[in-house]
Every structure is written in structure tokens, then in C-alpha cells.
Amino acid sequence: MNRRLRHIAVSVIAALFCATSGHAADEKPPDGKPNRAERAAKKATKGVEKTAKRTGEWADRTANRAGKAVERTVDKTGKWVKKQTD
């Protein structure tokens, strides 16, 4: 998990750095195409958003699995206790 967090942090820092350096050079080429820094910032931003979405979905799945496991354990324990007391 620490590796994922470091990756997200590095991506955010890279996106911020690229965004600030892209705004520092407000010149656009004559063909209207964004410069290299702007393209890199856009790509880094997309990567950060995708990673955050993927991490959120992973957390949801993990929480659901943990909840179901707890429910199964409670049900099994309850059945065992009922069987022992009958």
C-alpha cells in the first residue's frame, strides 16, 4: 500500500510541476498545438485521476469483502453456539 501512496504522491507532484512550468511559458506554437509541458501536465493529470479512481474502487471492493467475511463468521459462530446449547 505504501508503494501506491508514494506513486500517487509522485504523480501529483509531477502534475503540479508540469502545470506550473507550462503556465510559465505561455507561448504557443504557431500551429495552435499545446507545448510539450502542457501535454505532459494533461497526461499526468489523467494518470493521477485514473489512479485515484482505481484506488477508490479497490477500497470499496476490499471493504465489501471484509464486511461479508465478518457476516459469515458471525453466522457460523451463532449457529455453533445454538447447536452447543440445544
Per-residue pLDDT tens digits for 21-78: 545 455 666 677 778 889 999 999 999 999 999 999 999 999 999 999 999 999 999 9
Confidence tier at 14 by pLDDT (50, 70, 90): confident
Distance CA 86, CA 73 (A): 20
- What residue ranges do the domains of the chain occupy? 2-85
Grid cell for residue 35: 507545448
How many of the other CB atoms lie within 10 Å of CB of 16?
Answer: 14
The reported pLDDT for the residue numbered 86 is 81
Distances (CA, A) of 20 to 38, 42, 85: 9, 12, 69
Overall pTM surpassing 0.75 (yes/no): no
The reported pLDDT for the residue numbered 19 is 59
For residues 40 and 16, the answer to whether their CB atoms sit within 8 Å is no
Grid cell for residue 83: 447447536
